[in-house]
Structure 1
Amino acid sequence: MPVSTPSAPQKSASTAELPAAPPPSARTIAAAVILLALLAAAIWSIIDLRINIASLADSASNAVDFAERVFPLDFPPLGELLGLVATTLAIVTLATALSVVLSLPVAIFAASNTTTGRMSRGTARVLIVVARAIPDLILAIIFFRIFGLGALPGILALGIHSVGMVAKLYADAIESLDNGPLEAIRAAGGSRLQQITVGIIPPLMPQLIATALHRFDINLRTSVVLGYVGVGGLGLEMADAMRTLNYPRGMALALFVLVLCIVVELLSGAIRSAIMAGATTRRSGGLAGALDRISSGWFTGGRRAQTTRPTGPGALVPPWTAERVRRFAFVAAIAIVLALAFLGSGLTWRDTFTGLAQVGPTVGLFFPPGGVDLLTMLLRELLITVEIALAATLLGAILALPIGILAARNVVSNRAVQTTFRVLIVLVRGIPELILAIIFVVVTGLGSVAGTLALAIGAIGLLSKLVADSLEETDTRVQDALRASGATGPQVFVAATLRQAAPAFVAHLMYLLDVNVRSATLLGIVGAGGIGFYLLNASRVMQFDVVTTIVLMILAVVLIIEGLAIFVRKALS
């Protein structure tokens, strides 16, 4: 009887049919190498800057001494305080309006569905990158030389720098619009102006207003920084107080700035949420509905029922319907706000035109770049600036990631925990990083440690919110499937939620590094280390050729980091 030998175990059909995981692409490997190199550089930066527990513990006595010198707080008289607030809000309002006016045409040229010419689109994209790369502090220094003291340099600096963010968001929004109405207008023989005013602006209105409100928040915090180079309002008053070591007055103003930033952010955030919710659902109730009714559909881009209007040769002027009255009143209200802001800022047309006549001679002071004998020192300080940004990004991530996770509604079921960490994020977001840097300079002394700690804590406000939003945007069906199979909460989080959000986390960290490089430059003006201190000193002693050299160095670093960030995001998307 033949003896059968045991055969090798056969794979099941389902297992045999499973495709092998594709090997990582060269771009993915390169992105991983870049991230590991940045991590190693960040760790080395923390060591080189001597940021450790022992040095922080040694500064504890300085913190106690600083607290004793600050209290009791010394608030200015109410009338003076309200005047400072009015000046600050006027500058920020005009700067934000200027950024919208400049950004919209740039965005139209940068969007692929509104501009077919590659040269025009490429030029617009370059303008967006350059506007974002040049810190507003540098723009303010240049404009102060052209226009002198006053609100105009601050308005121009904030407005032009804002184009880098606002125009990019507008261009992305234009590219995501439904092209049907635009193509219909084009097919009917509509001009380019008609295509823009009818096919782009109305559906884009929610994004226009929401982005402007978001930029208003950012410009309000930045105006405090520009106070150190002469921009009026709360920032200038606080800078004067801190320079004279009047800590009770300076920290009282800082506290007021914090409260003002938080109030403005909560208010604008509520309006933004209402606008976007109304644009998506077209609801007629709540805040979105109220704004929609007041603006006759402008806030949410809603379409109102058209009133029957007479036609014919005698009906050239549309009747004053209730809808037209509301729309007119809405536009008039915006015009009144801008007019009040213009009056509150103290701008005069005469000073503006006088400054424009000096543009040519003033620009000549900045070229050609100079300071060759200072190049070694400037490169060393630039390296310190990059170290501060790298160290702050790593420390900020360590602080912000757990806070963002605990603030995500689909990760933590306890509403009290969610609310607590959401409030913490809002509070930290409301603190201008310059205020944190001033405090740390007093506590830890002049140098890079103060700037690093200020940016690391500031990362909680930015990165934690981005992390929480990314976690909440993950596909909950995957998480529900794992729960149904018996997985525990931590297993669901690691295997489903965190895995889906990981690419977004990497993108957020690269964005934070990009922001920290610019911020590290700005914080140098208060002695928080880096090249910003030398930039401010060069402008004060009117070595404008050295200012140009520093600007070009900063611009090169920012563009390199932005290029790496774009490459990593595309490789991991």
Structure 2
Amino acid sequence: MSALLAPQRRAAKPPVPNTIRTVVLRACAAAAVLATLAGAWYIDFAPATLVDGLDEIAALLERMLPPRLDDPGRISSLAVETLLMAVLGTVLAALVSVPLAFLAARNTTPHPVVYGAARGVITFCRAMPDLLFAALFVRALGIGVLPGILALALHSIGMLGKLFADAIEQTDPGPREAVRATGAGYVREMLNAVVPQAIPSWISTFVYRIDINLRMSVVLGFVGAGGIGFALQDALRGLIYPRALGIVAVILVIIAAMEVLTIVIRRTLLTPSKAGPGRDRQTRFAFGVLLAITCLASLVVLDIDPFALFTWPWPSFEVFGRMIPPDFDALGADLFDAAVQTIAIGLVATAIGVVLSIPLGILGAADVSPHPALYWLARTWILVVRAVPELIIAVVFVAALGLGPIAGTCALALGSIGFLGKLVADAVEEIDPGPLEAVRAVGGGWWKTLFAAVIPQAVPALIGSSLYLLDVNIRTSTVLGIVGAGGIGYLLFEAIRTLNFDIAGAIVLVVFVIVYTIERLSGWIRSLVV
């Protein structure tokens, strides 16, 4: 995860002078504040609006209680389906990302043109929301789990390909030169010198991506792409709120269990064994075998024809091809308004998330939290909020506050608290304990330690995490319209639903430009901070 938040450092790039960096960062901070205020004005967001809607939210939550499961057998089956979709989609993405990463890494790519093309594929996959991929695949392949698996796989390539390539670029060139001196070819050089160095980072990224894909897969059912999200949408459409809350509780348990499992897997695979490297290789091999068995079992349980994993491009390309040439004239000013609204939702939600999650993250850091009870309370709240996808939260706010961008902003802001809160807590736990001990040794209290030793060290990570959150929120805000929570998503999914693929193509290009621009801007700012 840290590789996502920190830019690649290269010796060839001269550092930015501190004076210029300070001026630029202050200008960026002022621009961010102004942009957030302008965004809040554009979507008519005001704290009073949310306060006025608290009664409606409380009434809706009261109608959800007590939660119930009307068909435990079906829900259990859909829960297993969701989990297997996440695993299989991540494995397929990893199989594609490994060779793609070698083409996208500067030190292993065969040609600059190949490097640019590989990075372009990775950027496109990362910029397009998984729910958009799922909606298009459903149109091409029909309702079922296969569109969901392919959507998860394609979107995952955007993250896995980038981080796998970054790990390759950070490998020591010494072993490669030694292998090359023996007369080995390119493939042997990569397998014997590069892969062993990159494997630990790849494993960590892969396991973390399964955790992410599990969260994503629970909402793919909203567009008919399989999983437990279909049952949840059915309950929400029927206004059977106790059943919906029961399904959300099941989702919470699944995601919490997966988070604990991924922590155990990471520690098992990445912590050196006292028995030596041989035992580490055996553990990783056993994990690989278990993963392969799980994938084969997934094909059986999900009733997927293995050949469908190879034949899907033909019908899909037919649907994707109908998006070209894009039609920008059909929507006119509505497209521009929806695009600005999407950016405004992302900006305002991120600002709220940053303000509320930084204190929560500090309380959730084990080495800084003033009391164990506060630590566990903060960590529990972070886990609960992270476990519920923003699209589900948006459904609740739409039902309570009505259609529009305010509901989407509130949903993203609440989701941001859990997402950024965890990043902040983890970053604070990783700071150097020396300054903390020094302040405490001279009698400094908790507040003195916080402002003198904790925050100064954590500022770069806080800025990097906040920019990454903005990047994520802009992507997420592009699909909130599917449930009426504002932004460009409504126009996009309405165009797909009515088979106006040329209009959908125009919207997809706008989404790509928005996400790519925000990503490049945030990456540039992070490069000034780190």
The alignment's TM-score, normalised by the length of structure 1, stands at 0.84
Contact 2:42 2:341 in 1 (8 A): no
Which position in structure 2 is the counterpart of 1:503?
460
What are the superposed Cα offsets for residues 193-241 of structure 1, whole Å, 9 maximum, x if unpaired?
Answer: 2223222333433322221221111111111222111111201111122
1:274 Cα offset (Å): 3.4
Partner amino acid for 1:411? V
- Structure 2 residues without counterparts, runs of 5 or longer: 1-15
2:203 maps to 1:209: yes
Task: Give distance in 1, aligned partners of 2:470 and 2:278.
Answer: 38
1:429 Cα offset (Å): 1.4
Which position in structure 2 is the counterpart of 1:364?
321
Contact 2:370 2:446 in 1 (8 A): no
Q: Is the alpha carbon distance of 1:202 and 1:23 closer, same or farther for their aligned partners in structure 2, counting shifts above 3 Å? A: closer
2:61 maps to 1:59: no
1:371 Cα offset (Å): 4.4
What are the superposed Cα offsets for residues 178-202 of structure 1, whole Å, 9 maximum, x if unpaired?
Answer: 3333322221122222223222333
Partner amino acid for 2:259? E
Aligned residue runs from structure 1 range 443-522, under 5 A? 443-522=400-479
Residue 34 of structure 2 is aligned with which of 40, 59, 73? 40
Which position in structure 2 is the counterpart of 1:8?
none
1:34 Cα offset (Å): 2.3
Contact 1:205 1:298 in 2 (8 A): no
Task: Give distance in 1, aligned partners of 2:287 and 2:427.
Answer: 35
What are the superposed Cα offsets for residues 24-57 of structure 1, whole Å, 9 maximum, x if unpaired?
Answer: 4445423432232112111232344343343223
Aligned residue runs from structure 1 range 249-268, under 5 A? 249-268=243-262
Aligned residue runs from structure 1 range 75-474, under 5 A? 75-115=69-109, 117-276=111-270, 278-279=271-272, 282-284=273-275, 293=279, 296-299=281-284, 327=285, 331-349=288-306, 355-474=312-431
3-state SS of paired residue (2:218): helix
1:351 Cα offset (Å): 5.3
Partner amino acid for 2:525? V
1:485 Cα offset (Å): 4.6
2:504 maps to 1:528: no
Contact 1:258 1:432 in 2 (8 A): no
Contact 1:132 1:162 in 2 (8 A): yes
What are the superposed Cα offsets for residues 227-282 of structure 1, whole Å, 9 maximum, x if unpaired?
Answer: 11111120111112212222222222122112111111121122223333x14xx3
Q: Is the alpha carbon distance of 1:353 and 1:182 closer, same or farther for their aligned partners in structure 2, counting shifts above 3 Å? A: closer
3-state SS of paired residue (1:549): helix
Contact 2:471 2:518 in 1 (8 A): yes
Task: Give distance in 2, aligned partners of 1:370 and 1:535.
Answer: 12
The alignment's TM-score, normalised by the length of structure 2, stands at 0.91
Q: Is the alpha carbon distance of 1:42 and 1:189 closer, same or farther for their aligned partners in structure 2, counting shifts above 3 Å? A: same
Which position in structure 1 is the counterpart of 2:11?
none
Partner amino acid for 2:274? R
1:542 Cα offset (Å): 0.4
1:133 Cα offset (Å): 0.8
Task: Give distance in 1, aligned partners of 2:311 and 2:98.
Answer: 28
1:537 Cα offset (Å): 0.8
Task: Give distance in 2, aligned partners of 1:558 and 1:124.
Answer: 18
Which position in structure 2 is the counterpart of 1:547?
504
3-state SS of paired residue (2:322): helix
3-state SS of paired residue (2:106): coil
3-state SS of paired residue (1:552): helix
Contact 2:363 2:370 in 1 (8 A): no
Contact 1:31 1:567 in 2 (8 A): no
Q: Which has the higher contact order (CA 8 A, sep 6+)?
A: 2
Contact 1:74 1:249 in 2 (8 A): yes
CA RMSD of aligned residues (A): 2.4
Contact 1:265 1:430 in 2 (8 A): no
Contact 2:299 2:306 in 1 (8 A): no
Q: Is the alpha carbon distance of 1:67 and 1:214 closer, same or farther for their aligned partners in structure 2, counting shifts above 3 Å? A: same
1:564 Cα offset (Å): 0.9
Which position in structure 1 is the counterpart of 2:13?
none
Task: Give distance in 2, aligned partners of 1:292 and 1:91.
Answer: 32
Contact 1:238 1:250 in 2 (8 A): yes
Q: Is the alpha carbon distance of 1:180 and 1:413 closer, same or farther for their aligned partners in structure 2, counting shifts above 3 Å? A: farther
Q: Is the alpha carbon distance of 1:62 and 1:292 closer, same or farther for their aligned partners in structure 2, counting shifts above 3 Å? A: farther
Q: Is the alpha carbon distance of 1:130 and 1:31 closer, same or farther for their aligned partners in structure 2, counting shifts above 3 Å? A: farther
The percentage of counterpart residues that share the same residue type is 39
1:414 Cα offset (Å): 2.7
Contact 2:135 2:225 in 1 (8 A): no
Task: Give distance in 2, aligned partners of 1:478 and 1:340.
Answer: 51
Contact 1:225 1:522 in 2 (8 A): no
